[in-house]
Structure 1
Amino acid sequence: MALKPTIYKFKISLSDLNRDYYTALILTVAQHPSETVERMMARVLAYCLNADELLSFTKGLSSVEEPDIWLRGLDDQLHLWIDVGEPAQERIKKASRMAKNTKVYSFNSKSDTWWQQSQSSFSALPVQVYQFPWKDIQALAKLISRTSDMSFTITGDSTYITTQNGEVDIICRELQA
């Protein structure tokens, strides 16, 4: 019998001062059985940084042919492909041909090593690469529960997040524009 995902429900008040985008999000997020809470929260953070009414989570780890998050236009064109983690260069090369924009958000303890090894192969690709500090993602993961009310305030490269259990400020470092 296959393991079932754990379901989280987030009510997020989002204030993106960089884009003048303000909204309330109700997100139901499935944590894949093999996914850590930290990875799931990196996905939620990447979602909020790119929030749009057409943005959606995909099957993610359950489907290797899809990104973690994508934005499909009303014409079903793939406008944005977002991967969270440390994807292979071949995967991102294929993604950059399929989508108008491609972004990668790296977040874990091996992120620096992955980027040192991947930077030269990514430099030729039309992809934006960002990094969340591992300790900050760990701190964020400790603040959530299965049902959470949260506030995200994005300004510059900083995202200030408050929950009923505490707060954390996460800097999104741009590795490649």
Structure 2
Amino acid sequence: MALSATLRKVRINISDLTRHYYEAHSLTVAQHPSETDIRLMVRLLAFMRHADEDLSFTKGLSTDDEPELWQRAPDGRIVLWVELGEPSVKRIKQALSQAERVVIYSYGGRSADEWWNKHKVELGHLPRLEIFHLADPQPAQLGELCQRSMDLFATLQEEEVQLTDGSHSLDLQLTRWR
């Protein structure tokens, strides 16, 4: 018997000082059985950084032809394509052929560094691509906030994110790799 997704109820109050975006979002997020709490929270972090009424979660791990998040224009164009982890260069190029802008959120330790060092020259020539990295131990700290039901408060400015659930607070610093 196949395992089913775990549903997470998330309420996020976002204050993005860079974009002047101040909104509350109530989300139901499906966590794939193979998805770790860390990866789920990195998805939520990406949502916070790009929050918009047209931004939505996709099938993610359940399909190969969709990103983790995307923002579609009313005419169907893909304005933003968000990937997590260490996607292949082929996948990144396919995303760039479909979307106006592609953003990757890399997280973790040595494997992320190795991925970047292996591909940074080739990725450096691709247009409309941004890559951010969340270095250790930040992903694990972020994963500790994961609950079945979450009330999160996020203040964002540039590559800094202050995140709290009322009991625990994190100051996250994303590194812009590209």
Structure 2 length-normalised TM: 0.96
1:130–1:175: 8 Å Cα contact kept in structure 2? yes
Aligned partner letter, 2:159: D
1:134 is displaced (CA, Å) by 2.9
For 1:43 and 1:55, how far apart are their aligned partners in 2? 12
1:121 is displaced (CA, Å) by 1.7
Residue of structure 2 equivalent to 1:18: 18
Aligned partner letter, 1:16: D
1:97 is displaced (CA, Å) by 0.9
Aligned partner letter, 1:168: L
Q: Structure 1 unaligned runs (5+)? A: none
RMSD: 0.9
1:164 is displaced (CA, Å) by 3.2
Query: What is the 5 A alignment of 1:24-43?
Result: 24-43=24-43
1:11 is displaced (CA, Å) by 0.6
* Higher deviation after alignment, 92-101 or 129-138: 129-138
Q: 2:128 matched to 1:122? A: no
Alignment partner for residue 132 of structure 1, among 134, 150, 153? 134
For 1:49 and 1:7, how far apart are their aligned partners in 2? 22
Q: Provide, for residues 1-54 of structure 1, a one-character-per-residue CA deviation record: whole Å limited to 9, x for no partner.
A: 211011111111100000000000111111111111101100100111011100
For 2:98 and 2:176, how far apart are their aligned partners in 1? 23
Query: What is the 5 A alignment of 1:1-177?
Result: 1-109=1-109, 110-126=111-127, 127-176=129-178
Q: Give the fraction of aligned pairs with identical amino acids, expressed as a percent.
A: 39
For 1:121 and 1:36, how far apart are their aligned partners in 2? 29
For 2:54 and 2:158, how far apart are their aligned partners in 1? 23
Structure 1 length-normalised TM: 0.96
Q: Provide, for residues 33-82 of structure 1, a one-character-per-residue CA deviation record: whole Å limited to 9, x for no partner.
A: 11111011001001110111000000000001000000011111111110
Q: Structure 2 unaligned runs (5+)? A: none
1:165 is displaced (CA, Å) by 3.4
Q: How many residues align?
A: 176
1:108 is displaced (CA, Å) by 1.9
1:144 is displaced (CA, Å) by 2.6
Runs ≥4 residues deviating over 3 A: none
* Higher deviation after alignment, 45-54 or 161-170: 161-170
